[in-house]
Amino acid sequence: MNQRRSQLTGFFASQWQGLSGWVRRHLEDEPGRTGEDLVGEVYARLFSRTDDQLPGESLAGYVYASLRHGIVDRLRGRKPTVSLDTPLGEDDEGMTLADLLPSPGDSPLDACVRAETLRALHQALDDLDPASREIVLATEFEDRTFRELSEEWGVPIGTLLSRKSRALRRLAVAMAEHRP
């Protein structure tokens, strides 16, 4: 284990109770919220980074800032994200992008329709600009959060949400002809 990881582990080991208490004081009006959960999330997120992504000099400041952001997120409540289960539009009778993919069946026709639809989805994804494609793939297929992506890519969350929304609209248009 290198020096930065040792510092990270040592810091959390010695400060865990204090950090948990600090978070609890800020979340006291929120039932079911524990400080340990948020401290554990911050620790796991930091520990999963590569060595060159770990904070250097101001570890305590970075941890407290991360905890403060986590507290704000929890108090504000996470806003629902646009996903493949979001309705395509009012005139689409409640259909979602996920509805465009037929469920696998036993018949050769079902397999052919599914293969063609998947091919069309891959092509529609390839036709997106790289930034839009990356946000759709990261949030829909890799289960990444907008917060993680914002921190990693250095792009505001609002920008990521806009990119994804536009990308899903473009995918819906591209896939309209492949409705089962």
Check if the beta carbon of residue 149 is closer than 8 Å to that of residue 139: yes
Contacts of 8 (CB under 8 A, 6+ apart): 43, 46, 47, 54, 59
CA pair distance 84, 76, nearest whole angstrom: 24
Q: Does domain 90-178 have CATH number 1.10.10.10?
A: yes
Average of per-residue pLDDT values in the chain: 77
Report helix, strand or coil for 15.
Answer: helix
Give how far the C-alpha of residue 129 lies from the chain's centroid of Cα atoms, to the nearest Å: 19
Q: What is the pLDDT of residues 62-81, one digit of tens each?
A: 888 888 888 887 777 654 45
Per-residue pLDDT reduced to its tens digit, 25-63 = 877 655 555 677 788 888 777 777 666 666 666 777 788
Q: Where are the domains of the chain?
A: 3-76, 90-178
pLDDT of residue 154: 92
What are the tens digits of pLDDT across the range 152-180?
A: 999 998 999 989 989 888 888 888 876 65
Given a contact cutoff of 8 angstroms between Cβ atoms, the answer to whether 96 and 176 are in contact is no
Q: How many CA atoms, within 13 angstroms, populate the side-chain half-sphere of residue 17?
A: 1
Q: How far apart are CA 88 and CA 172, in angstroms?
A: 7
Q: Model pTM?
A: 0.41
Predicted local distance difference test score (pLDDT) of residue 12: 78
Return the closest-CA partner of residue 35 out of 23, 45, 43.
23
User: What pLDDT shows up at residue 105?
Assistant: 56
